[in-house]
């Protein structure tokens, strides 16, 4: 069944790849800026600095390579290495735990050593682990290398997001939104190619992953060092006065507390979101939705994320939504989507639920790292991005286990009720996260003027 699902992903994603290639192109505006034209709407143009454009390209290539591996981990451990599904789950949990440690380490290294060194440190660990995995992918080498890959990629993720935000300080939400869209393009292409390559030979999956990550490594090594980031002036550039880089100051402790509160809600959202890939996926099979139809839901998700950006931008501008309002609206949309899924017994119902959920995702996911960037004191951007990334990783790690236990013991109805409760908690955390901030009004005004 898992192999069938993978091949269905291949069939449904190949169409979106062609669309992505045709819908996007870029041209140089000058030596420091690129203009990215979104062809679905000629009025929607995003001016991206050259530095950020290089980061986005590198990240897309990295995500494509990573997307070769993660859909196949359980399949390879169970089908090729003969390990139980329980043991496969433990291996994936260790990979996620290593990613959490890497997230915090990457944020710390970004603040202490700078974006380039932090990214190269994590990328070097990942590249060496992929070399080992390519040549030795039996047991227990597979598990060991997968743990190191989790740590290395975990180091890179917060560092590259902090790097992106710092490279386009005036862009605000748009910098993180561009990274978010780029990552989804990478996932769409990577999963499609993974199905095609796995159909030929599993051995080629490891080689292809290594080759693509090597390209990312070369891009990062020769280009990221040229990107000049003044990490000590980020706070002033965002229009937020910060007295000290020490986390011991009252103001900075308030900012850290605010981030932890909003990250709690972010992690809970991921606990719910990941159910679409686990318990809800199984539930669709029980109500006779085919694997091909299920895979089409994710094709629709990826297409909307990429092509509905102009519609989302107009929505935010029309209602003058600041970041806090965007998250709250997104969470209400999540509740509507999961509520609809809970009562759906047909493919059309799940299509509607996926469309609704995707718009919620588009509002919430890029907004959280933007808030982390805005809250970060001088020299602490990496730390704050590491906390946000860790919250998402923990949510993805805990979600499948929690969802599986609830379904086994109480059924899908209790699971959906629990998920709706998680979104309510996330709403509450969003409402209160900025209560103790002195510069709350500055942050909200800046959100409207800079992040739309």
* Residue spans of alpha helices (H) in 224-322: 234-237, 250-273, 279-286, 291-307, 309-318
Which of 61, 75, 60, 11 shows the shortest CA–CA distance to 178? 60
Task: Evaluate whether 297 touches 351 at the Cβ level (below 8 Å).
Answer: yes
Return the biggest CA–CA distance within the chain. 60
Q: Provide the pLDDT confidence category of residue 5 given band limits of 50, 70 and 90.
A: very low
Q: Provide the pLDDT confidence category of residue 267 given band limits of 50, 70 and 90.
A: very high
Average pLDDT over residues 166-187: 80
Task: Evaluate whether 217 touches 93 at the Cβ level (below 8 Å).
Answer: no
Q: Which helix (H) or strand (E) holds 24?
A: strand 24-28
CA 109 to chain centre: 20
Q: At residue 171, does pLDDT exceed 60? A: yes
Q: Provide the pLDDT confidence category of residue 48 given band limits of 50, 70 and 90.
A: low
pLDDT of res. 230: 52
Which of 62, 118, 102, 390 shows the shortest CA–CA distance to 231? 118
Angstrom CA distances, 346 to 67, 286, 287, 289, 335, stand at: 29, 11, 7, 7, 19
Average pLDDT, the chain: 79
Q: At residue 347, does pLDDT exceed 50? A: yes
Provide, rounded to the nearest whole percent, the portion of the chain with pLDDT above 90.
Answer: 29
Phi–psi pair at 25, nearest 5 degrees: -160, 165
Helix (H, G, I), strand (E, B) or coil at 26: strand
**Number of structural domains, the chain?**
1
Alpha-carbon gap, residue 214 to 209, rounded angstroms: 8
Residue with tokens 């850290």: 256
Higher pLDDT, 437 or 31: 437
CATH number of the domain encompassing residue 53:
1.20.1250.20
Alpha-carbon gap, residue 139 to 130, rounded angstroms: 15
**Minimum mean pLDDT among 37-51, 91-105, 230-244: which range?**
230-244
Higher pLDDT, 169 or 380: 380
Higher pLDDT, 301 or 195: 301
Q: At residue 193, does pLDDT exceed 90? A: no
pLDDT of res. 90: 82
Range of the domain at 119: 2-239+247-450
pLDDT of res. 348: 93
Higher pLDDT, 447 or 85: 85
DSSP string, 128-170: HHHHHHHH--STTHHHHHHHHHHHHHHHHHHHHHHHHHHHTGG
Average pLDDT over residues 296-305: 83
Alpha-carbon gap, residue 384 to 108, rounded angstroms: 9
pLDDT digits (tens, 9 = 90+) for 379-388: 788 889 889 9
pLDDT of res. 246: 61
Higher pLDDT, 408 or 19: 408
Q: At residue 147, does pLDDT exceed 90? A: yes
Q: At residue 120, does pLDDT exceed 70? A: yes
pLDDT of res. 430: 94
pLDDT digits (tens, 9 = 90+) for 363-400: 999 899 889 888 888 878 888 988 998 999 899 888 88
Q: At residue 446, does pLDDT exceed 70? A: no
Side-by-side strand order, sheet with 45-49: 24-28, 33-38, 45-49
Task: Out of 163-172, 328-337, 373-382, give the one with best mean pLDDT.
Answer: 328-337
Q: Provide the pLDDT confidence category of residue 235 given band limits of 50, 70 and 90.
A: very low
Q: At residue 236, does pLDDT exceed 80? A: no
Higher pLDDT, 207 or 238: 207
**Minimum mean pLDDT among 67-81, 200-214, 307-321: which range?**
67-81
Q: Provide the pLDDT confidence category of residue 172 given band limits of 50, 70 and 90.
A: low
């Amino acid at each position: 069944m898992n192999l069938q699902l993978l091949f269905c992903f291949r069939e449904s994603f190949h169409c979106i790849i062609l669309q992505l290639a045709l819908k996007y192109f870029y041209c140089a505006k000058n030596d420091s800026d690129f203009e990215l034209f979104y062809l679905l709407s000629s009025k929607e143009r995003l001016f991206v600095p050259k530095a950020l454009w290089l980061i986005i390209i590198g990240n897309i290539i990295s995500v494509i390579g990573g997307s070769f591996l993660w859909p196949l981990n359980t399949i390879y451990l169970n089908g090729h290495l003969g390990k139980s599904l329980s043991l496969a789950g433990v291996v994936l949990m260790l990979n996620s735990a290593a990613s959490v440690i890497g997230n915090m380490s990457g944020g710390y290294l970004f603040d202490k050593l700078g974006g380039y060194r932090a990214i190269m440190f994590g990328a070097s660990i990942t590249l060496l682990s992929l070399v080992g995995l390519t040549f030795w992918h039996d047991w227990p080498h597979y598990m060991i290398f997968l743990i190191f890959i989790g740590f290395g990629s975990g180091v890179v993720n917060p560092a590259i997001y902090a790097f992106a935000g710092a490279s386009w300080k005036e862009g605000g939400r748009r910098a993180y939104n561009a990274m978010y869209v780029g990552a989804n393009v990478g996932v769409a292409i990577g999963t499609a190619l993974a199905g095609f390559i796995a159909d030929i030979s599993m051995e080629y999956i490891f080689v292809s992953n290594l080759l693509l990550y090597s390209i990312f490594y070369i891009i990062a090594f020769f280009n990221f060092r040229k990107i000049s980031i003044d990490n000590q002036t980020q706070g002033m550039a965002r229009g937020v006065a910060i007295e000290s880089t020490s986390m011991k100051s009252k103001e900075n402790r308030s900012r850290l507390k605010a981030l932890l509160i909003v990250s709690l809600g972010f992690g809970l959202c991921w606990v719910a979101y990941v159910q679409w890939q686990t318990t809800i996926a199984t539930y669709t099979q029980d109500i006779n939705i085919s694997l091909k139809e299920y895979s089409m839901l994710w094709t629709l998700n990826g297409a909307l994320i990429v092509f509905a950006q102009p519609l989302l931008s107009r929505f935010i501008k029309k209602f003058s939504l600041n970041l806090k309002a965007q998250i709250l609206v997104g969470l209400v949309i999540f509740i509507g989507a999961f509520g609809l899924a809970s009562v759906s017994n047909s493919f059309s119902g799940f299509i509607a639920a996926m469309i609704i959920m995707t718009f919620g995702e588009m509002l919430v996911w890029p907004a959280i790292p933007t808030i982390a960037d805005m809250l970060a004191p001088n020299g602490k951007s990496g730390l704050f991005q590491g906390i946000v990334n860790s919250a998402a990783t923990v949510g993805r790690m805990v979600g499948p286990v929690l969802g599986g236990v609830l379904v086994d013991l109480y059924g899908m109805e209790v699971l959906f009720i629990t998920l709706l409760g998680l979104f309510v908690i996330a709403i509450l955390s969003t409402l209160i996260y900025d209560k103790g901030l002195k510069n709350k009004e500055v942050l909200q005004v800046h959100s409207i003027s800079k992040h739309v």
